[in-house]
Amino acid sequence: MFNKKVRYGPIWVSSGKVEISRAPSLFFAFPSRPPETFLSRETIDAYELDETAVRDEMRVDAFGEEVDEALMRQHFFNLKRQQGLYETFDGVLKLVPAGDGTAAFSFDFHWPKTAPPDTYEIELYELRDGEVTGEAGQTLKLVLTGFPGFIHSLAMEKARWYGLFAVLFAVSFGLGIDYLARKIFGGVARAH
């Protein structure tokens, strides 16, 4: 859900809500070469193998208001690309022929820091003679660990304890700053 902005003179203001649906939270593609060089557009669209297919699958709901859906999809896609959540990695897939008509593969990439903890679906497609001849899927669960994981689980599962912890932390931090100010500058802190 996003705020739709319109311009009134030199000022941008919110003029309603826009909801984008049927869009993946994360889209990475690792083609060995551009899919349109060996697959039909129908096949690419059916399996959402490139950015155009993903963008065309997105749905825009402006709750009865008139909007340019293609422009909204493009802006959403650009936002996700800037966040590092939508990307096509050309040329990083390394194929090694196995000798029996198959090939082993590997690729390296950096996971974006902006990707939220979630369960992600990884889909792999085998392509041969211009068709998808096989597919496999795997689930990847991304979780926070350490202190950030502790704070996140506390906030999500035990909100009262999280609130108490946050208040106690803020009060103790304030008292600590007051103590240091008195030690450094001497005297008693005064109200203005």
Residue-wise pLDDT tens digits, 115-168: 888 999 999 888 888 888 889 999 999 888 999 888 888 888 999 999 998 999
Cα(46)–Cα(85) distance, integer angstroms: 21
153 in the same domain as 110: no
Name the token pair of 70. 């293609």
Tally of domains in the chain: 2
32 in the same domain as 111: yes
Q: Can you name the residues that pair with 86 across neighbouring β-strands? A: 27
128 in the same domain as 114: yes
Residue keyed to tokens 């909100």 = 159
What's residue 187's pLDDT? 65
Q: Which domain holds residue 170?
A: 146-185
**Helix ranges (DSSP H) in 17-145:** 41-47, 51-57, 69-82
pLDDT of 104 over the 90 cut = no
134 in the same domain as 52: yes
Residue 84 region by backbone torsions, left for phi larger than 0, else alpha for psi between -120 and 50, else beta: left
79 in the same domain as 42: yes
161 in the same domain as 68: no
**How many percent of the chain have pLDDT more than 90?**
36
**How many percent of the chain have pLDDT more than 70?**
97
Asked if residue 192 is part of any domain, the answer here is: no
66 in the same domain as 134: yes
pLDDT of 52 over the 60 cut = yes
56 in the same domain as 8: yes
What's residue 190's pLDDT? 63
133 in the same domain as 78: yes
Q: 26 burial class (0-12, 13-18, 19+ CB within 10 angstroms)?
A: buried
118 in the same domain as 55: yes
CA angle 87, 63, 6 (to 5 degrees): 70
- Enclosing H/E stretch for 168: helix 159-185
Asked if residue 191 is part of any domain, the answer here is: no
Q: Is the pTM of this model over 0.75?
A: no
Stretch 29-47: mean pLDDT, rounded?
88
